[in-house]
Amino acid sequence: MALQDLTNKSFATSTQHQSLSTSAIERDRADFCKFDERLKAFDSILNSEAMINVCTGVEATPDVNVHEFERVGNVIIEKMIDQNVYQYSFSRAGIASTMASNSEVKVGDQRSIDPALLFQRFWLTSNTNDLCAREVLEYELCPYPPALFESPNLMRKADKAPLLKSLKRQAGVEEEL
């Protein structure tokens, strides 16, 4: 269109150039306005000094330092110099902290909930017709079965005698003396 204006020549629109029709231009302009309005919603995020998740709008806590990953990595490397590779131990305090690593929701002084586990429970409920949310949420939100594990990586000590008695009782087998 700019070339047509410059040369004072005009051409009839054919099916090959439907994007130059008046209605197509108006649709493009309307789409651009919608896009522009959507970007204006992010103005506060783009002009903020804080780290904010653009998908959720959640602001990062002050301990999130993933943007300083190079500095954090260099500190770790400096600590490793002159250390025996088999004796060096990485500490959790020394790694970069992300928004995901701090995603727990505090529900009390000593208690927090992992949002991923909560989401999994709701997803399970929504995709299964024979479960209701009340039944699913009756159980502790825990990433490992507390009856079997002391912590995520430490199983409880096996107490085989009571387990054997219980299994025999369930099976209807009499105990041998």
Does the CA dihedral 18-19-20-21 come out positive or negative? Answer: positive
pLDDT for the residue numbered 18: 60
Tokens matching residue 116: 């991923």
- The helix (H) or strand (E) run that includes residue 71 is helix 69-80
Whole-model pTM over 0.75: no
pLDDT of 90 above 70: yes
Across 39-63, average pLDDT: 72
**Residue 68 carries which DSSP code?**
G
Across 42-118, the runs of DSSP E, i.e. the strands, are 105-106, 112-113
Mean pLDDT over the full length of the chain: 76
Contact 99, 60 (CB under 8 A): yes
pLDDT for the residue numbered 177: 47
Domain ranges of the chain: 1-41, 50-103, 110-177
CA separation for the pair 155, 17 (Å, rounded): 69
Nearest CA among 162, 145, 163, 142 for reference residue 154: 145
